[in-house]
Amino acid sequence: MENETEPLLIEPKAILAEDKEVHRRRDSRGRDSRGRNKESYKRFDEEKNLDGWIPKTELGKDVKAGKIKSVDEIFESGRKILEAEIVDSLLDLKSDLLNVGQSKGKFGGGKRRAFKQTQKKTKEGNVPTFSVLAVVGNEQGYIGMAYGRAKETLPAREKAIRKAKLNIQKIQRGCGSYDCSCKEPHSIPMRVQGKCSSVTVKLMPAPQGTGLVAGDQLKKILKLVGIKDIYTKTSGTVRTTLNTAKACVDALEKLNDVQFKK
């Protein structure tokens, strides 16, 4: 018919170019299907920008003024890091989330996911809470891990990453395998063992070309540390990702208790 208007055609490239928030369906509180609102996106973008960072601690003021140029100087002085922007300005960090949660499925057959959801029964109804286990590292021997909880997914992720940056520490790397005579820091210098609850993780040095002989979640931790070749052995309730990750970090921390001759 002549009175009918032609349908409006929008190219896919135009949709991708626009802001994603416009195309997400939001509820009465302005949240999208993932539990995010505009303020959450705004806070996430502000944390990435270091130009507008105003330090609140003496350590942060020294870092921004250029008096401190490395994280090792902070560790040697024994000062505590209370601002995540300090680590961002000194290290080029990468972050990853471990699968601590599980989606809904029949007979407990849901897929593993990064967000762990719990509920609290109240008079108003069920109040959900999301938990995230984040790991940060620069693949050069620095790593940090933390657990974050919030009422929404994105704030929980932000909190976990921010706390992980505050827990940054240096891990000693080396080559302790008898089958490899190199002196490059591609593995660990000796065997170590970490434990958390019923989970025990053993880390053993491996020669070059071996790769990361470990589970998927442990690979994320070892990769961010900067370890390329290693053997691992786990025992206990390994399906509890939180305890497995803590046991792995506990084993890596024990490498710093031993001093090696250079």
Per-residue pLDDT tens over the stretch 161-187: 999 999 999 999 999 888 887 889 999
Q: Exposure of 109 by Cβ count < 10 A (0-12 exposed, 13-18 middle, 19+ buried)?
A: exposed
Confidence of residue 13 (pLDDT cuts 50, 70, 90): very low
* Residue 125: strand pairing partners: 122
Mean pLDDT check: name the lowest of 31-40, 145-154, 175-184, 192-201: 31-40
Asked whether residue 258 carries a pLDDT value surpassing 60, the answer given is: yes
pLDDT at 188: 94
Asked whether residue 48 carries a pLDDT value surpassing 80, the answer given is: no
pLDDT at 39: 44
User: Which residues contact residue 157 at a Cβ distance below 8 angstroms, ignoring those fewer than 6 apart?
Assistant: 97, 114, 132, 134, 148
Asked whether residue 7 carries a pLDDT value surpassing 80, the answer given is: no
Burial readout 27-52 (b: 16 or more C-beta within 10 A, e: otherwise):
eeeebbeebbbeebeeeeeeeeeeee
Q: What is the DSSP string of 114-180?
A: S-EEEEEEETTEEEEEEEEEEEEE-SSSEEEEEEEEESSHHHHHHHHHHHHHHT-EE---B---TT-
Confidence of residue 20 (pLDDT cuts 50, 70, 90): very low
User: C-alpha angle 200/249/75, rounded to 5°?
Assistant: 150
Q: Which residue has the higher pLDDT, 141 or 27?
A: 141
Residues for the chain: how many in total?
A: 262
pLDDT at 262: 59
Cα distances (angstroms) measured from residue 23 to each of 16, 19, 136: 10, 8, 31
CA dihedral 57, 143, 99, 238 (to 10 degrees): -130
Separation between Cα atoms, residue 55 and residue 121, nearest integer Å: 40
pLDDT tens figures, 121-176: 999 899 999 999 999 999 999 999 999 999 999 999 999 999 999 999 999 999 98
End-to-end CA distance of the chain: 86
pLDDT tens figures, 61-113: 999 999 999 999 999 999 999 999 999 999 999 999 999 998 877 766 678 89
Strands (E), 23-62: none
Separation between Cα atoms, residue 231 and residue 176, nearest integer Å: 12
On whether the CB atoms of residues 243 and 251 are closer than 8 A, the answer is: no
* Domain spanning 192-257, CATH architecture: 2-Layer Sandwich (3.30)
Count CB atoms within 10 A of the CB of residue 206.
Answer: 24
Asked whether residue 230 carries a pLDDT value surpassing 50, the answer given is: yes
Domain ranges of the chain: 38-169, 192-257
Just give the CATH number of 38-169. Answer: 3.30.160.20
Q: Could you tell me the pTM of the whole model? A: 0.78
